[in-house]
Amino acid sequence: MTEYGSNYMNVLAKPTELEAAAPAGVFVEEVMSVQHYTDRLFKFRMTRPASFRFRSGEFVMIGLMIEGKPIYRAYSIASPAWDEELEFFSIKVPDGPLTSHLQKIQPGDAVLMKKKPTGTLVNDALIPGKRVYMFSTGTGIAPFASLIRDPETYEKFDQVILTHTCREVAELKYGEDLVEETRNDPLIGEYAREQLVHYTSVTRENFPRTGRITHLIETGKLFEDLGVPPLDPAVDRGMICGSMDMLKDTKALLEKAGLNEGANNKPAEFVVERAFVG
């Protein structure tokens, strides 16, 4: 058995060290790469268990052993269902029970993952339409990083509009790299070059486009910039991921435009999920 102290050095273990200590029914995976974007954001990729299946857009519980106890938080899987590895995009909360430790992981370290993925931001929860809007703020872009790399999304919708709003310009970098890589991808690049639109804005720094997405919807600037008609429940679909307040305010605007909220067992015009942090 491995001993876990309060020092983070003891929290980060190798997969072989954790196998014995890990709770039953949990995968112990190995970190493959880590990229830090700002002092608040980082991405990591890890091995994917051979038996693990999920639908693009779902989330899973990710954890570390901290002082002998597993601590988990919900994380959207940012990689698509076909990918051999699993990708996650995380916030760093200085005193966060999990992320204060998770932000220090390095390739070769072990990460725990519960076996059951779930979530509402999936293509199955939307009825077919012409255009799908993926509204995201901050790390809320993660489930859409999965969906924009899934061919099914482009088969279901003619146009895929990914909006990403962050406080600062540097926080847009993950999404910018993601979209560029997706457009150059041999598997889905052709779809993405034709059908994917990336629409960014910043709220606390100078940038060519500033303001919250809710403001850009309300004023009609979003539609004007994109050269498309305002939201129409007959053809437009929406997916929303961000903070609780962002979800509430964006959802209210979609409902005002006549779109109804859907779920896995009752597909409709839009779906909502919170970006899990901590």
State yes or no: residue 274 binds ligand A2P (CB under 6 A): no
Looking at 21-29, 92-100, 152-160, 161-169, which segment touches ligand A2P (CB under 6 A)?
A: 161-169
Q: Report which secondary-structure segment, H or E, holds 270.
A: strand 270-274
List the helix and strand counts (H, then E) for the chain. Answer: 10, 11
Residues between 194 and 223 that touch ligand A2P (CB under 6 A) = 203-204, 212-214
Q: Which of 180, 181, 205, 245 binds ligand A2P (CB under 6 A)?
A: 245
Q: Report which secondary-structure segment, H or E, holds 272.
A: strand 270-274
Q: Which of 121, 166, 178, 254 binds ligand A2P (CB under 6 A)?
A: 166
Residues between 127 and 146 that touch ligand A2P (CB under 6 A) = 137-138
CA angle 38, 176, 268 (to 5 degrees): 110
Q: What is the largest CA-CA distance in the chain?
A: 61
Calculated CA dihedral for residues 141, 147, 150, 154, nearest 10 degrees:
-110
Q: Which of 4, 183, 243, 267 binds ligand A2P (CB under 6 A)?
A: 243
Size of the site for ligand A2P (CB under 6 A): 15
What are the tokens at 13? 């273990």
CB of 90 to ligand A2P, least distance (A): 13
Residues contributing to the site for ligand A2P (CB under 6 A): 137-138, 165-167, 203-204, 212-214, 242-243, 245-246, 249
